[in-house]
Amino acid sequence: MFVDETQVFLKAGDGGHGCLSFRREKFIPKGGPDGGDGGNGGNVVLVCDENVGDLVNYRYQPHWKAKNGEGGAGRNKHGANGADCLLPVPPGTQVIDVATDRVVAELTDHGERVILLPGGKGGLGNINFKSSVNQAPRKTTPGKLGETGTFRLVLKIIADIGLVGFPNAGKSTLTTTLTNARPKVAAYPFTTLHANVGVIHYPATFDKIYLADIPGLIEGAHENKGLGHEFLRHIERCHLLLFLIDMAGTDNRKPSDDYKALDRELERYSEILAAKPRIVVANKMDEPASAKNLTAFKKKFRGEIIPVSCLDGTGLDTLKARLRELVQPHPEK
């Protein structure tokens, strides 16, 4: 199961209490106060980890707590600090405070750390209150409580290119052909149920580009038809969108109508997403009706069109080279 949104309850550790103690040793009468301070409570820390694929760990274990700090002890012993609660999340994770519905953190880079909830500070032992007028203080302070909160974790996959199209337009097949990802491919709609990210490699230059394949989008997705359109958040960070259009006219659909429907759904989801640069990839050019449909489509669409066939490989090298020109590639590690 791919989980890209879940809710968690988090609690930082409480601080340990300060100690009330007096030094009691042979031949040392009135040794004075020696109560140590309590340890600090552990923090709740989010850690961005590229080896984590989704948020499934937090779906089935929504409660997480850092360790409490230990109390102080005699002989001026400081209590141990509580261990932090480290929560690894995939790159692209947003953290939303449920109480305020405000984004409080966003992790995008591997190794990035955010202290979401700080632990409580440890209390003071009675040695801190010794003075010339109070040489035997019996005052201590308790440890402070660690912060708590309920948060919604939302994953927005980080990719350079987003692939948009109707079900069975060939998105998963194109992803399989261009990248190392292996999404499910079958002869029925909605085989893709969650976003998949593949890597397009350029061995000659040791570069790579990330491609995100999302579930099929249909007209009325904003009204929760099909699989809805919530998964469009996974391509919000993309620099370029590929509109994969079935030029064969499967199920008697017109390619121009498919394009208009996809464009409308993007606008209804987000004006920012709808304004992103795009290329139309005319797929299934090996089909008999595709050439005629492409000619008619070009009369209505003025943007860039790259004809391809995932079945026989026509145009795929051209598409791959063009993507490298339009998107800044990442160096291979």
- What does the pLDDT look like over 82-109, one tens digit per residue? 999 999 999 999 999 999 999 999 999 9
Phi and psi at residue 47, in whole multiples of 5°? -125, 120
Question: In what helix (H) or strand (E) does residue 223 lie, and over which residues does it extend?
Answer: none
Position 191 pLDDT exceeds 80: no
pLDDT bin (cut points 50, 70, 90) of residue 1 is low
Q: What is the pTM of this model?
A: 0.81
Pull the structure tokens for residue 234.
């996974």
**Among all chains, which residue has been given the structure tokens 């003071």?**
124
Q: What is the chain's alpha carbon radius of gyration, rounded to the nearest angstrom?
A: 29
Domain 5-155, architecture per CATH: Distorted Sandwich (2.70)
Residue 188 is predicted with a pLDDT of: 46
Q: Residue 18: which pLDDT band, with cuts at 50, 70 and 90?
A: very high
Complete DSSP assignment for 49-82: -TT--SSHHHHH--EEEPPPPPPPBTTTBPPPPP
Q: Is 270 left (phi over 0), alpha (psi -120 to 50) or beta?
A: beta
Taking only the tens place, the pLDDT of each residue in 259-318 is 999 999 999 988 888 999 999 999 999 999 999 999 999 998 889 999 999 889 999 999
DSSP state of 116: E
Average pLDDT over residues 228-257: 87
Query: Which fold does the domain 161-331 belong to in CATH?
Result: Rossmann fold (3.40.50)
The structural domains of the chain, with segments of one domain joined by +, span 5-155, 161-331
Beta carbons of 244 and 211 less than 8 angstroms apart = no
8 A C-beta contact, residue 129 and residue 107: no
Distance in angstroms (rounded) separating the CA atoms of residues 278 and 53:
27
Q: Which pLDDT score is estimated for 35?
A: 96
Tens digit of pLDDT for each residue in 139-176? 999 999 999 999 999 999 889 999 998 888 888 889 98
